Structure 1
Amino acid sequence: MNIALSRAPGTHVQGILLMCVGVACLTTNDAIAKTLTSGYSPLQILFLRNVIALPATIAIALFMRGPSALRSHRPQAHLLRGALWVGATMMFFTSFIYLELAEATALIFVAPVFITLISALFLGEEVGWRRWLAVLAGFAGVLVVIRPGGAAFQLISLLPVATALVYALLMLSARWVDPRESVWTLLVYLTGAGALLSALLVPFVWVPIRSEDLWLFAGIAFFGTAGMTMMTQAFRLAPAVIVAPLDYTGLLWATLFGWLIWRESPDAMTLLGAAIIIASGVFTILREQRQSSP
């Protein structure tokens, strides 16, 4: 029997609620990061976010899985994933300095398209013509948002796209982790590896933290950890085909935060491109779920 079918309908509702709240938390995390980039390096923001969040992440993992959650059978895989995590987050946070929050968020949603592309070209997975059309549609949506050659084009717009590519590699790299390790182990080591690797470079960009910004650093750690925890639990309670598309509600929150805090208002072309990217991503998720189900 398909595992998804064995879940009670009530858990589906819980999964949907957790996913929606988790996405809202992660978008709040992004909004705080964008606020902090006016005075701090993205690397320093990332370092403090991971250092502050690590104890809470360990506590959650111990609560959910016990001491076994802290045991890794393949630590080198986690170190590589940590490097991808640092690279993706650095690029995404840097894009906040130059781009509107909604625009950067819309472009990173092309990640499922990259996952399909990498799986087909480098991992030997079969991809049908419908999913190839979804890939083309996703990249068309990116072109609509960034408008290369137009007066509004900024080279920095490619940063969220590069972030999506590295994020896709991060997702696919989960296959290298020992199957005996739980998702909570992945979260602990991802946060820990991110803290360790960013600590190697953060002395070169460190600036003293203003007392009035302490609550913002605490907030980014809280909302980032809470968002990842709730989204992880959402996938445990409901089928991916139900909760995964809800990730795109982050664009609604990004648009709202952008307008409330910075008076940003995405233009019609950005919204059109975002709609194309989201439609491509949702189709890819649904198609993948259909093909992977028994």
Structure 2
Amino acid sequence: MKTDRTFTAVLLLLCALVLFDGMGLIIKHLSPRYSAAELAAWRNAFGLIPSLVVLYASRDWRENGRRWKIRQWRLALARGVILTVAQFSFYLSLGLLTFATASTITYANSLFAVALAVPLLGEKVGWIRWSAVVIGFIGVIWIVKPGSDAFSPAALLPLGAAACYALVGVTIRLMDDDVPTPLINLYSSVTALVGAVVLTLFIGGFSPLLHPNDIWWFMAMGGFGGCAVLCLIMSYRMAEQSNLAPFNYFGIPLAFVLGWMFFDEAPWSELFPGALLILASGLLIVWRERMLKQV
């Protein structure tokens, strides 16, 4: 039974990766017509629907009287602000970089998560995991290529997004254990929606629909993103994260294939061998965490 649940959790995780990439493809498709802030606003607006579905399906939330207010609401809102920055940076990078390059750099979030866990959670990180972080950042530097003629400042955007996504992930562990994860996610999503709307108004306001079908793209973008979060929550409830983490890196070759299929991009020289180092560092971190749990 446990094996069956793990298998289902892996399938849900892979579905989440496909949905996240589908969302990214739509964002890249719409980037020439709309700003990153506008796209983030539309994504969060339509993404609230799956988030509410997850919340109302939460047994913990129902058993606790369907409370909306939480004690650490300031921290929950702060996570939403950080998520706003992460989304804006990543969505902007999708319009400036190849799809696979922008997506691959964001996988550095696991490296940032290890580094942030030390000051924020008081975790002790040994030399093996620090070595993995160093290897991963060498891979990132290999892709970004600072100081070379091939360097593009836009490559720093997904790197900043990765740091923000990692901060969002680490700080959820500071929340009270009795607060349902979907409720925390809803706080972050609503705050990110407000932040994206404010940012859009600050940089010039919303553009009129430039094509009648764009509203359907917006709905699909939000639906894909919201459902991806739903799949992630379900998968991490069914199995330990250490069992699922290796499959998360399936997103790197998937992003490369999708970028080639939909945008005729094949950035071999940009990604390799840097992407392999990021992959290796992530798997090394996963392996070390499993070893520590067995001690």
TM-score (norm 2): 0.92
Letter in 2 for 1:109: Y
1:208: which partner in 2? 208
1:253 CA drift (Å): 2.3
Structure 1, unpaired ranges of 5+: 1-6
1:122 CA drift (Å): 5.5
Q: SS state of the match for residue 211, structure 1?
A: coil
1:182 corresponds to which of 171, 180, 183: 180
Alignment of 1:243-254 (within 5 A): 243-254=244-255
1:24: which partner in 2? 18
1:172: which partner in 2? 170
Matched, 1:42 2:43: no
Cα distance in 2 for residues equivalent to 1:269 and 1:222 = 31
1:59 CA drift (Å): 2.4
Q: Percent identity?
A: 26
Cα distance in 2 for residues equivalent to 1:270 and 1:134 = 18
Moved more, 125-134 or 175-184: 175-184
1:292 CA drift (Å): 4.3
Cα distance in 2 for residues equivalent to 1:227 and 1:101 = 18
Deviations 1:64-108 (A, max 9, x none): 333637442321111100000000010001111211110011111
Partners of 1:43 and 1:205 within 8 A in 2: no
TM-score (norm 1): 0.92
Cα distance in 2 for residues equivalent to 1:90 and 1:176 = 24
Deviations 1:227-276 (A, max 9, x none): 11111111111221221221211122211221122110022451311111
1:111 corresponds to which of 109, 112, 116: 109
Structure 2, unpaired ranges of 5+: none
2:133: which partner in 1? 135
Cα distance in 2 for residues equivalent to 1:293 and 1:158 = 37
The size of the alignment, in residue pairs, is 288
1:280: which partner in 2? 281
Cα distance in 2 for residues equivalent to 1:206 and 1:283 = 44
Q: SS state of the match for residue 68, structure 1?
A: coil
Letter in 2 for 1:258: G
1:148: which partner in 2? 146
Deviations 1:30-71 (A, max 9, x none): 111111111111111111111112133112210233363744
Q: 1:69 to 1:29 in 2, by over 3 A?
A: farther
1:93 corresponds to which of 69, 91, 94: 91
Partners of 2:58 and 2:180 within 8 A in 1: no
Q: 1:41 to 1:239 in 2, by over 3 A?
A: same
1:52: which partner in 2? 46
2:156: which partner in 1? 158
Letter in 1 for 2:156: L
Cα distance in 2 for residues equivalent to 1:113 and 1:183 = 23
1:181 CA drift (Å): 0.7
Partners of 2:50 and 2:227 within 8 A in 1: no
Letter in 2 for 1:56: P
Partners of 1:83 and 1:194 within 8 A in 2: yes
Cα distance in 2 for residues equivalent to 1:274 and 1:169 = 22
Moved more, 42-51 or 239-248: 239-248
Partners of 2:113 and 2:166 within 8 A in 1: yes
Alignment of 1:215-254 (within 5 A): 215-254=216-255
1:4: which partner in 2? none
Cα distance in 1 for residues equivalent to 2:4 and 2:265 = 38
Over the aligned positions, Cα root-mean-square deviation in angstroms equals 1.8
Letter in 1 for 2:188: L
Letter in 2 for 1:182: P
Q: 1:176 to 1:99 in 2, by over 3 A?
A: same
